[in-house]
Amino acid sequence: MVKRGGVVLCVLLFGVSCSYLPAHKECDHVTSQLMSIEGMQGMWVECSSAVFADDRVTATVQFPSEGALRFDRLGFNAFGSTAVNVVLVEAGGLVPRVASCAGVAPPNLHREDVLGHHFAPTLLDVKDAVGRHRELLEEIEFWPQCPQYWEVQDKRGQNYRYCARKKDATEEPPRPENCR
């Protein structure tokens, strides 16, 4: 027979130890970084229930009059001077899409990525992107409506096609022709 006090103690210890897990720390980091940004009306952060830290944190940031931005692949690598991700899933009701030889996905608008050159100065991290939300919304609204697209080429000669679609639409840009 198991004593109830022992079971409660195990559950309590497990619950307390979960707050020290890498995934929980990463989610807390994302939340604290976004909370430090002024001018937001609301913020919703969705964290993975994994034990290990990864970039599966998603956040929606709402602004008083300009709509909302939804970011994906957030984590420690989306903030600060070592950031590599500014993955935008939705902007003001539009879903930006980028087709490459690897497939179709949301764009990473980080300065090192293929579409990062659209912003001057370039986007440093997600915090910078949220602070410059009007510029980000204008950029996505200027993109052609899928399945129409614009094509760009990165420094290595890879072609990418990009467009934006309504949230409930399913059109995607076609993959570039030079894919093998």
Give tens-digit pLDDT for 72-116.
988 888 888 889 889 999 999 999 999 999 999 999 999 888 898
Does residue 173 carry a pLDDT above 90?
yes
Phi, psi of 162 (to 5 degrees): -135, 150
Provide the pLDDT for residue 146.
95
Give tens-digit pLDDT for 132-166.
999 999 999 999 999 999 999 988 888 999 999 99
Provide the pLDDT for residue 13.
36
Give tens-digit pLDDT for 15-34.
444 456 676 888 888 888 88
Report the pLDDT averaged over residues 113-131.
89
Provide the pLDDT for residue 4.
39
pTM for this one?
A: 0.82
Question: What is the band of 67 on the pLDDT scale with cuts at 50, 70, 90?
Answer: confident
Alpha-carbon gap, residue 83 to 150, rounded angstroms? 26
List the structure tokens of 97: 């899409």
Closest of 160, 166, 74 to residue 117, by C-alpha: 160
Q: What is the mean pLDDT of the chain?
A: 83
Compute CA 149 distance to the chain's CA centroid, rounded to the nearest angstrom: 21
Bridge partners (DSSP) of residue 58 are 46
Per-residue three-class SS string for the chain? CCCHHHHHHHHHHHHHHHCCCHHHHHHHHHHHHHHCCCCCCEEEEECCCCCCCCCCEEEEEEECCCEEEEEEEECHHHCCCCCCCCEEEEECCEEEEEEECCEEECCECCCCCCCHHHCCCCCCCHHHHHHCHHHHHHHHHHCCECCCCEEEECCCCCEEEEEEEECCCCCCCCCCCCCC
Higher pLDDT: 91 or 14? It is: 91
